[in-house]
Amino acid sequence: MLQATNKLCLSGTPLQNNTFDIYAQMNFLNPGMLGTVEYFKHNFSMPIDKFDEKEQKEHLRKFVFPFILRRTKEQVAKDLPEKQEMVLYCEMGNAQRKIYEAYRNDYRDKLIGMVEEKGIQKSQLSILQGLMKLRQICDSPAIIKDEAYPNESVKLTELIREITENIGDHKALVFSQFLGMLGLIKEQLTKLGIDYEYFDGGSTIQEREKAIERFQNDANCRVFLISLKAGGVGLNLTAADYVYIVDPWWNPAVEQQAIDRTHRIGQTKNIFAYRMICTDTVEDKILKLQDRKRSLAKELISDEEGFVKSLTKDDIAYLFS
């Protein structure tokens, strides 16, 4: 936050989870400009977040437009090297696929009946649990808690192949939201004698700074394993020019922020970013749903709960098909 004389400026992302984010910030900067909380919810939050009403979006945009100054990286850092983003599709082996289909079928049968009986809103927790389990299996069934599944992971195989065969002497950032998956990757890198650093939400500030300094300056340290939510912002890791998003996040902006840890001022190399997606799974379907809802995603960034709230009964049947 910057303060000059009697003027107040607030820097950051004005919209992260839902429309109400704007109210909180605008009411701080200009109290009363958007009315009371109840007025804003009735006239903007509900119509925009729940019903995607374009007229109310435009009305709100005109309200806040004079108070928001948007500057993209392309505008302020025109000399940055190119960035290529690609999807790295992974085909499960028979053992991993068998476990995935067993969970998918079980959740599909339970959730379709639950949604019909209780509705989507009252079924949200169960839907989220089902989606999380399927996404974990896409990484490796071994990371499911309270189960003793083998480590059958096409993503782990492909990631290690990328690191050992494709990136050469270049450095790579590897992001996952599941600490269990990061643990499996650590084990493989250790077995292969590949030097790495590690950072998650449990790391102290001192540990984080030490890990960053070593990764940036030690030529032998080639891989940085990072928890997606803990390390997606606030890091400058320009020593890397390869980025791997092991498991996709609901919010594409979170993935973009993670990729941009290396695509920053001071970077001199072209960036290659890969999203790892298991074919014919919930991950593949989430990507396709995001494409279908692209206009909404651009205007209203969602977290996992926001993603579920935007689903229809047909969408749920599609995700678990």
Q: What is the pLDDT of residue 291?
A: 67
List the beta bridge partners of residue 275: 87, 245
Spell out the domain ranges in the chain. 2-67, 83-91+153-278, 94-149+281-319
Comparing 55-64, 88-97, 129-138, 186-195, the range with the smallest average pLDDT is 55-64
pLDDT at residue 74 tops 80: no
pLDDT of the residue at 3 = 43
For residues 187 and 135, the answer to whether their CB atoms sit within 8 Å is no
The predicted structure's pLDDT at residue 219: 94
Whether pLDDT at 46 is above 70: yes
pLDDT range class, residue 158, cuts 50, 70, 90 = very high
pLDDT of residue 44: 81
Span 233-251, pLDDT tens digits: 668 888 999 999 999 877 7
pTM of the model: 0.75
Per-residue pLDDT, 275: 94
Question: What is the pLDDT, as a whole number, of residue 153?
Answer: 96
Mean pLDDT computed over 9-14: 53
* pLDDT tens by residue, 173-223: 999 999 999 999 999 999 999 999 998 888 788 888 999 999 999 999 999
Q: How confident is the model over 291-297, as a mean pLDDT?
A: 52
- In the structure, what pLDDT confidence band is assigned to residue 302 with cuts at 50, 70 and 90? very low
pLDDT band for position 2 (50/70/90)? very low
pLDDT of residue 15: 54
Average pLDDT (85-96) is: 95
Percent pLDDT > 90 in the chain is 39
Contact of 95 with 296, CB cutoff 8 Å: no
Confidence of residue 297 (pLDDT cuts 50, 70, 90): very low
Please give the CATH superfamily to which domain 83-91+153-278 belongs. P-loop containing nucleotide triphosphate hydrolases (3.40.50.300)
**What is d(CA 293, CA 296) in angstroms, rounded to the nearest whole number?**
6
Distance CA 9, CA 299 (A): 23
Whether the pLDDT of residue 149 is over 80: the answer is: yes
Q: Annotate 90-127 with b (16+ C-beta within 10 A) or e (fewer).
A: bebeeebbebbeebbeebbeebeebbeeeebeebbeeb
Burial class (CB in 10 A: 0-12, 13-18, 19+), 67: middle
**Distance from C-alpha of 209 to C-alpha of 206, rounded to nearest angstrom:** 5
Q: Which residue has the tokens 């790495």?
A: 196
Contacts of 278 (CB under 8 A, 6+ apart): 89, 90, 91, 92, 138, 154, 155, 284
Give residue 316's pLDDT band: very low, low, confident or very high (50, 70, 90): confident
